[in-house]
Amino acid sequence: MTLTTWYFEMRDRADLHAAKAPAEAVSVVRAEIPSVEYSAFLYTAVGADWNWTDRRVWSGDEWRAYLERPGVETWVGYVRGTPIGFAELDGSNAGEVELAYFGLLPGFIGQGFGGHLLSEGIARAWTLHERWPSLAAPARVWGHTCTDDSPVALRNYESRGFRVYRTEET
């Protein structure tokens, strides 16, 4: 079986095409206290249907070391107090912010939340340096998705203004 991975980037904050707000209000809140348990829950709950496996073997110490790095942030979308999905940002490489993980919990897919939450995550990626004064402003925001991910993922990224800059097949 061939796995296709698309790498995408946005090089200017003005390129963000924000999705319209969904019918139901979404609060987007930063999980400011690094929590191994909460991050592992989000990763597992969102990624279970999409074959996310790389972090399932992480120990608590590995999770903690990652989450405590300067420039790593987890932004969680909530509807009426219930988490619906998350965007994980990694600004630890100079001049760029990686959208390391993004997705919705299965029960919230197809309700108009994905584009909005992604828009909010991208906007926060562009301002990450404001919350981490030791980091430079990003020159690009980037990420990747693959054929194991949701069939609408790439379209959502491109609709928000990302452009594919590399495709790999393995």
- Look up residue 1 and give its two tokens: 């079986």
pLDDT tens-digit series, residues 102-142: 999 999 999 999 999 999 999 999 999 999 999 999 999 99
CA 5 to chain centroid, in Å, comes to: 16
Q: What pTM did the predictor assign?
A: 0.96
Distance CA 90, CA 98 (A): 5
pLDDT tens-digit series, residues 13-69: 999 999 999 999 999 999 999 999 999 999 999 999 998 989 999 999 999 999 999
pLDDT at position 151, please? 87
Question: What is the average pLDDT across 160-164?
Answer: 98
Ordered domains of the chain (ranges, CATH): 4-169 (3.40.630.30)
Using alpha carbons, select from 4, 15, 64, 2 the residue that is nearest to residue 163. Answer: 15
Q: Which of the four pLDDT bands, split at 50, 70 and 90, describes residue 1?
A: confident
